Structure formats: structure tokens, C-alpha cells
Structure 1
Amino acid sequence: MNDLLAYFKIESMTDLLWLGLGLVAQLMFSLRFIIQWFVSEKEKRSVIPTAFWWFSLVGGTLLLTYGIHRGEPVIILGQALGIVVYARNLMLLHQGRRTDLPVQAEG
């Protein structure tokens, strides 16, 4: 067990908590694909649901936080730009909903 902890550079309870955060972050980030797959199967066409972008944003932000804490430039670079894309897609979806509101008949 000590070899495993040493391999993952776990030297304290704080390190273990950070590893836990990293694992949760990766799980959140991975779940976006499962959600997209299920929704696409249900619709019988390729669909990217809003939940995909939320899981991307939350998972990506947590992974970026973990990467910064661990000093991992690959994770930092991989997530930093993605977060901007995920947030922008959510903004576009929100703007689209505002413009798709039904027009009330004038009376």
C-alpha cells in the first residue's frame, strides 16, 4: 500500500483529498460522454444536450484546479481553453432560449 501511495505522491491526508478531487473531476468530465450517448440513443440522432456542456464545464474546472495544484502543465493547458469553449456554448444556449420565447399576441 505504501508503494501505491508513493507512486501517486500521496504523503498526507491533504494529498489524498486532492487525489479524490481529481478522480471526481475526471468522473464528471467522463460522464458528459455517457449523457450525450444516452440522449442521442433516445433521440435516434446525434444530440449534444445542455447537460453535456455543464458536465464539461464543472469537470473541466475541477480538473484545471487539480492540475494547478499538482503543477501539471499538460492538464492545465488541456483544460484552460476547453473551459472557455464550454462556458461560451452554455452562453449561446442561454441566449438561444431567450430569443426562442413565444411572442404574446397583442390584444
Structure 2
Amino acid sequence: MIIHYGQVLGDYLFDVFVAKFDFWLAFGLVAQLLFTARFLVQWISSERAQQSVVPMSFWFFSIAGGLMTLVYGIVKREPVIIIGQAAATFVYVRNIMLIVKNHARGSKTLDS
């Protein structure tokens, strides 16, 4: 019985990752890697600062991975991905706008 389930799992993984491999699967995997990389840069930055920080690169990785995942969702007609990434991308862009705005405000204060 265990061998049967192992074969079923093997067949499933082969079907998902090998038999159906095409440009869009590769595109989606790259999108997911970019999206995941944001946590790596956040972790490294936090370790260096010895406190939790969110570097600007976190938001750029979020936008790049999020937009690519959104495109993947649109092409694959996945409403869950489309809704989730469309809303999240707005949040990523807004965070960058706030950071830039506050940085500009801080620069004006320092120059005054």
C-alpha cells in the first residue's frame, strides 16, 4: 500500500513539474523566487542591524515578484492569484512612496 501511494505521489510530481513544464511554469517559478528573495534580504539586513528592519530592496523584490506573479495569474486565469497580487502590489508601491516621501522630508529638515 505504501508503495502504491509513493507511485501516486511520484506520478503527480512528474506531471506537475516535468510533463507540464513550459515557459509560463518557468516564469512563475522565477516570480516566486524573486518574491521569496525579499525575505532573504530582510533577514540579512536585520541580522546586520541586530534588530528587525525592512530595507528598500525588500519592497523592490516584492514589486518584481508580485507583478510577475500577477502576470502569471492572469495568463493562467487564476482569480485567487490575480486578486491577491493586484491588491498586494498596491501596498508595495504605496510603501515605497511613503519611504521616498519621508526620506525627502528628512533631507529637507537636515538641510534647513
- TM-score, scaled to structure 1: 0.82
2:69 aligns with one of 40, 63, 69: 63
Report the AA paired with residue 64 of structure 1: L
Whether 1:51 aligns to 2:57 is yes
Residue 86 of structure 2 is matched in structure 1 by 80
Give the drift of 1:58.
0.8
Residue 19 of structure 1 is matched in structure 2 by 25
Q: Measure the CA separation in 1 of the matches of 2:59 and 2:70.
A: 16
Q: Measure the CA separation in 2 of the matches of 1:40 and 1:25.
A: 24
1:103 aligns with one of 100, 107, 111: 111
Cα RMSD (Å): 1.8
Question: What secondary structure sits across from 1:100 in the alignment?
Answer: helix
Q: What CA deviation, in whole Å up to 9, does each residue of 1:27-73 have, x standing for no partner?
A: 00000011101100110100011010110011000000000000111
Report the AA paired with residue 34 of structure 1: L
Report the AA paired with residue 87 of structure 2: L
Q: Measure the CA separation in 1 of the matches of 2:16 and 2:47.
A: 40
Question: What secondary structure sits across from 1:46 in the alignment?
Answer: coil
Q: What CA deviation, in whole Å up to 9, does each residue of 1:67-93 have, x standing for no partner?
A: 000011111122111000000000111
The structure carrying a bigger helix percent of its residues is 2
